[in-house]
Amino acid sequence: MKKVLVIGAGIGGCATAIEFAQIGYQVTVLEKLKTIFTEGAGICLYSNALKSLDALSVLPEVLAAGASFNGATEFLDNTSTLIGTVKY
């Protein structure tokens, strides 16, 4: 069996580990932190991320654990002129 080592158990490392496991690799994930915690910055997942999680067959679990919200982020240039808005 082919083996792969993934460094970091953040969202990117976990997604990578899932993908390799689904295509038949034996996966080892290394994380520098000694404990798992859920505190920290919130993660906003846009449609491209949700499509990727769906392709990994973990989207239902992610949606069940999360919460949806409506809002927008406005982006300003160095003169405080609005240059774009991302709605979610």
Interatomic CA distance for residues 55 and 13, integer angstroms: 16
**pLDDT at residue 41, rounded to an integer:** 58
- The pLDDT score that the predictor gives to residue 20 is 95
- Predicted TM-score (pTM) of the model is 0.55
> What pLDDT is stored for residue 10 in this prediction?
84
- Is beta strand 72-76 parallel, antiparallel or unpaired with respect to 3-7? unpaired
Q: Tell me the average confidence (pLDDT) per consecutive run of 10 residues in the chain, 88 residues long.
A: 93 91 96 76 76 91 84 90 88
pLDDT cut 90: percent of the chain above it: 51
Task: Please state whether beta strands 26-30 and 72-76 pair in parallel, antiparallel, or not at all (unpaired).
Answer: unpaired
What is residue 36's predicted lDDT score, i.e. its pLDDT? 72
